[in-house]
Structure 1
Amino acid sequence: MDIESFINLTLTNWILAAIPLFLLLVLMLTGKVSVPLAAIASYFLCLLIAIVWFGADSSLIVIASLKGISLSVFVLAIIWASVFLYNIVNHAGAMKAMGQHLLKTTSDKMLHGLLLGWCFSGFIQGVTGFGVPVAVVVPLLVIAGVAPIPATVAALIGHSWAVTFGSLGSSYYSIQLVTGIEQSVLGPTMAVMFILPILMTGFAVAVIVGGKDAMMKASGIIVAVGSAMAFVSWGVTVVGAPQLASTVAGLFGCAVMWIWIRGISHGSSAPGASTNEVPTPQEAVEPNISFHRAFSPYYLVVGLTTLVQIPWIKDYLATFSWGVDYPGTVTSLGWEVSSVDQYAALELFTHPATLIVMAALFTLPLFRSSIGSFGGMVRSAVRKTYQQSSSSTIAVVFMVAMTLVMQHSGMIGVIAGGLALGSGSIFPMISPFIGLLGAFMTGSNTNSNVMFGALQVETARVIGANIVVVASSQSIGGSLGSAVTPAKVLLGTTLIGIPGSEGNILRKGLMYCIPMVMIVGIQTVVATRLL
């Protein structure tokens, strides 16, 4: 995708292309209708505009919608598996036990928020991604005393710093491949530009969980841990292992935070030592399950994910995959999408959902004394998973289908191209917002980078801006924007049983996400003028 693709852009085209997205946002943010209904309405409006104005025909609509269903299955499998695991662990009493252990360490929920919602979520994102950090961290924050909505927002915002270098580098490699920038240049530059986002997400989590006063008292540890994670991330990219940057940085942050919390629990005086103590009845109860046994399913998720990344194992298991081949499409206006084989292929033994379900089933014997009949427990978990996930399933299918129709009809290209060409010399300020747009629409920073990475670099060349800085800005914007993707929001609300709260969570998430992306835009402007 290059700048010439958008030479016939008009304001009318841009407005019409943006209307379905605008409708979806308005309906979700106002909460006037359910999320599934908002998704359905936006999808059918998108079809109308694509056919009448952007030259889509019936075959394009069918192909794009079917591709949307294929991609939805990939995403929904993770949601279903995560909810299933949660129901198993919760029924066994392991969630309650984890909460009791956490509260024995410290009753400061803000410190729990930083450890779990910021550092630990970043580590999990580094290894797995695909919504798993939200699935793991949100329930833990709730049992640590954080209210459900702040817990969900904290996990969403808190893990977003780790997305680009997370999932073992999938988003990073996508931007590197589509732009052709040398890894030795792009990785370290991007890591330096991530210093501010790492710190900002830490401060945001502290405010979300503990309030502004608590954040101020804990500013020292946030700066210390955030700087350490940023330095480690940069160091890992310098030595040529960007795929491990988030994993190692998140693990290092967890270690520093744990030492800090242990120091506080032994009477050390430090910022955050006395903020937001929340006594609960759990504090007086001795856990009947050890923390490591209670947490064992999540250990196994991380362990299995790491195991299947070993090259010879990964290559062998990759042969067990299933996907659908789709033909190419072209609109009457000439917008073309190439054919694709094995689209959104499900690698049966390496897909996150498979690993999550395996972890749930393999750890059942550890909870034998708590769950009674294995068969009854599994049936109960499946039934609850269906009840909790049915609404979000409808919403995800129609949202993703709408996105694919917009992509195949050229509507997303028009939106991004309009932002790029309309911004002129201030394009670097807009650059991270294009990344955010792509992540919001597709639910993936990787997809955002594939869609808009080349466009960003081509635009930077036209206006004479530093292409490495702009490419980094694209992925950073998508990384932060992944915090407000509807699929992840739905995952959080589904897990902890607060359906109907999606609009509230999205509003709160955007309150933090937009200013952070704006600051990244300012950083990009400054960097392009200095470099």
Structure 2
Amino acid sequence: MLNLTWINWLLALAPVLTVLLLMLVFRWGGSKAGAAAWFMAVLVALLFFGAGPRLLGYAQARAVLLTLDVLYIIWMALLLFHVADEAGAIEIIGEKLPALTPDRTIQALLLSWVFVSFLQGMGGFGVPVAIVAPLLVGMGFTAVQAVVMASIGHGWAVTFGSLGTSFAALQATTGVSDRVLAPESALLLGVASLVSGAIVAYVAAGWGGLRRALPALIVLSLVMGGVQYILATNGLWTLGATGGALSGLVVGVGISRLPFYQPAEGAAPLSLMGSARASQPSLLMALAAYGILIVLALGVNLVPALDMLFNAVRVTLMFPELATSLGWITPAGPGRSLSVFGHPGAILLYTSLIAYLVYHRLGYYEDGAAGRIVAKMSKSAVKSSLGIAAMVGMATTMSHAGMTNLLARGLSESVSAGLYPVVAPFIGTLGAFMTGSNTNSNVVFGLLQLETARLLGLSVSLTLAAQTAGASLGSVFAPAKVIVGSSTVGLAGEEDQVIRQMLIYGLIPVAVIALIVWGLAQL
């Protein structure tokens, strides 16, 4: 294994620095910056980390599987959006949502904090932002605001979202049970829920909006974080984020009807846009596509018979043990397992087809709608697809060459036991930033965090909770996910505008969690 020196550590960091430099300083788009970072990762791995052609080839093969997994979701999420948009549904939601409350901050919280977290509970990579960001633009928020709010808003729900995939990965990697991990993980993410909501309110309406929304923020964060904690600590961690956000939706609708968030008597409800359509859906029908998505996702994931039926056919490739010339070993094992009919992308495809048939039957489409839907989907998806493929290739190359591990070792070995609790969440964030995944960060760094905690005499459960909380919050501002969100609101190729703000706002919840972990470690 390569010795840890500052030179080697900086070499391992070079691909990440390449992404940041090109996107933040030179304002390159995600696809170009990602390709350059991938090339840098391959070059450094080959020249300095002992990665041979065989290892690099298998790393790219694994990256292809991961990329297909991600792109299936992205393309189908875009398809669903354009199916609804072509029918006028997005426009109607933008018009009718103020009927619940004209308060812009509460509108933003309901969509880009509560609803987006509910979608995260059921979905995976990119789906929540891909669905919610266009809705926010339809309500009159800027494209950058929309992506930032929708991304930051669901960061707290990633670990226990997607039916607890990331939490399951942490258990599998470390061998620590859910009973040990769940309490502190759920506690940290519950606090993160409040911070994330506060950032959404600030981005939506500034300090004035944040102050006005404070009662709603406190109540909703207690409800969502509390329900998630109860579910997670009682063995129902697969439903943690879904149950918490669903409770938040119910309570949030009630809060939006309170007099404090309603207009003065005689005031006209706010209308953000008008429509010249002769035949337009009602608000209920405009939301029908997303209602279908919820029903299908819950059914496939929660009904055992449907789960077995839809996930009966899976595609899995086995990979051999791989080693660099310096001794870093990637164990043999399966690559990403893809469910042919139960994949989140497949659920989105079924939803899109059903929604299209419903809207077509009701006469909401004009001639040539199907062609326009496919054309718009393709145009939106191509740039983001290239960027994501490059980012995933970079991440798998770094992981297989031992570069990712070296980065974490450098971070963990450069601080004392007293300060390590502050560093632990940022290691999780680093892993998620590079891979775009809470799950991958837990797989890559979970065991390292466990071993470091034991060596330093720290609480294993608290350190691992810090790892997954940091990864959960960090995954939402990973470049690959920023590309996804940007592509759905017309910012493909201009992701630098978003990632600048995402880095500023996204690190705030991580810093808060780091301080809380440090405080708990002193007890």
On the 8 A contact 2:228/2:244 being kept in 1, the answer is yes
Change (3 A) 1:122 1:34: closer
Alignment of 1:216 with 2:208, yes or no, is no
Change (3 A) 1:217 1:283: farther
Aligned to 1:292: 284
Alignment of 1:240 with 2:231, yes or no, is no
SS in 2 for 1:282: coil
Alignment of 1:121 with 2:113, yes or no, is no
On the 8 A contact 1:128/1:302 being kept in 2, the answer is no
Aligned to 1:421: 413
Q: Among residues 76, 79, 90, which one is paired with 2:74 in the alignment?
A: 79
How far, CA to CA, are the matches of 1:205 and 1:9 in structure 2? 40
> In terms of mean alpha carbon deviation, does 316-325 or 149-158 score higher?
316-325
Q: Among residues 493, 501, 510, which one is paired with 2:494 in the alignment?
A: 501
Deviations 1:294-341 (A, max 9, x none): 111211222211111223332343331223333321110011112233
Q: Among residues 362, 365, 376, which one is paired with 1:371 in the alignment?
A: 365
Aligned to 2:376: 384
**What is the identity percentage for the equivalent residue pairs of Structure 1 and Structure 2?**
34
Deviations 1:171-210 (A, max 9, x none): 1111122222232232122112223201100100001111
How far, CA to CA, are the matches of 1:383 and 1:326 in structure 2? 37
How far, CA to CA, are the matches of 1:32 and 1:123 in structure 2? 33
The runs of 5 or more residues in structure 1 that have no matched partner are: none
> In terms of mean alpha carbon deviation, does 160-169 or 65-74 score higher?
65-74
Which letter maps to 1:295? L
Aligned to 1:519: 512
Which letter maps to 2:407? I
> In terms of mean alpha carbon deviation, does 194-203 or 364-373 score higher?
364-373
Aligned to 1:322: 315
Which letter maps to 2:347? L
> In terms of mean alpha carbon deviation, does 431-440 or 493-502 score higher?
493-502
> In terms of mean alpha carbon deviation, does 161-170 or 491-500 score higher?
491-500
CA drift of 1:379 comes to 2.7
Change (3 A) 1:372 1:278: closer
SS in 1 for 2:159: coil
On the 8 A contact 1:80/1:389 being kept in 2, the answer is yes
Aligned to 1:471: 464
Q: Among residues 447, 451, 469, which one is paired with 1:458 in the alignment?
A: 451
How far, CA to CA, are the matches of 1:128 and 1:34 in structure 2? 26
Change (3 A) 1:265 1:349: farther
Q: Among residues 400, 403, 420, which one is paired with 1:411 in the alignment?
A: 403
Aligned to 2:60: 65
Alignment of 1:199 with 2:233, yes or no, is no
Aligned to 2:10: 15
How far, CA to CA, are the matches of 1:296 and 1:163 in structure 2? 25
On the 8 A contact 2:66/2:336 being kept in 1, the answer is yes
Q: How does 1:22-37 map to 2 (within 5 A)?
A: 22-37=17-32
On the 8 A contact 1:305/1:350 being kept in 2, the answer is no
On the 8 A contact 2:102/2:263 being kept in 1, the answer is no
Aligned to 1:282: 274
Aligned to 2:131: 136
Change (3 A) 1:148 1:278: farther
Alignment of 1:433 with 2:426, yes or no, is yes
Deviations 1:252-300 (A, max 9, x none): 111222111122488588xxxx9xx965343999993122211112112
> In terms of mean alpha carbon deviation, does 286-295 or 326-335 score higher?
286-295
CA drift of 1:399 comes to 1.0
CA drift of 1:104 comes to 2.6
Alignment of 1:400 with 2:392, yes or no, is yes
CA drift of 1:158 comes to 0.1
How far, CA to CA, are the matches of 2:456 and 2:146 in structure 1? 42
Which letter maps to 1:74? D
Aligned to 1:492: 485
Aligned to 1:302: 294
How far, CA to CA, are the matches of 1:211 and 1:283 in structure 2? 29
Question: How many residue pairs were aligned?
Answer: 516
Which letter maps to 2:153? G
Change (3 A) 1:32 1:135: closer
Aligned to 1:110: 105
SS in 2 for 1:288: coil
Which letter maps to 1:117? S
How far, CA to CA, are the matches of 2:275 and 2:47 in structure 1? 62
CA drift of 1:427 comes to 1.2
How far, CA to CA, are the matches of 1:84 and 1:229 in structure 2? 30
Change (3 A) 1:161 1:27: same
CA RMSD of aligned residues (A): 2.1
How far, CA to CA, are the matches of 2:271 and 2:53 in structure 1? 60
CA drift of 1:41 comes to 1.3
* Moved segments of 4+, more than 4 Å: 265-269, 283-287
SS in 2 for 1:370: coil
Which letter maps to 1:371? Y
How far, CA to CA, are the matches of 2:98 and 2:278 in structure 1? 11
On the 8 A contact 2:91/2:273 being kept in 1, the answer is no
Aligned to 2:160: 165
Alignment of 1:251 with 2:274, yes or no, is no
How far, CA to CA, are the matches of 1:38 and 1:278 in structure 2? 41
Which letter maps to 1:403? A
Deviations 1:373-432 (A, max 9, x none): 5xx433322222111111111111111111111111110010011111112221111101
Which letter maps to 1:178? T
> In terms of mean alpha carbon deviation, does 154-163 or 248-257 score higher?
248-257
The runs of 5 or more residues in structure 2 that have no matched partner are: none
SS in 1 for 2:318: strand
How far, CA to CA, are the matches of 1:264 and 1:388 in structure 2? 41
How far, CA to CA, are the matches of 2:28 and 2:137 in structure 1? 27
Normalising to structure 1: TM-score of the pair?
Answer: 0.93
How far, CA to CA, are the matches of 1:278 and 1:412 in structure 2? 50
> In terms of mean alpha carbon deviation, does 58-67 or 323-332 score higher?
323-332
CA drift of 1:239 comes to 2.4
How far, CA to CA, are the matches of 1:348 and 1:297 in structure 2? 22
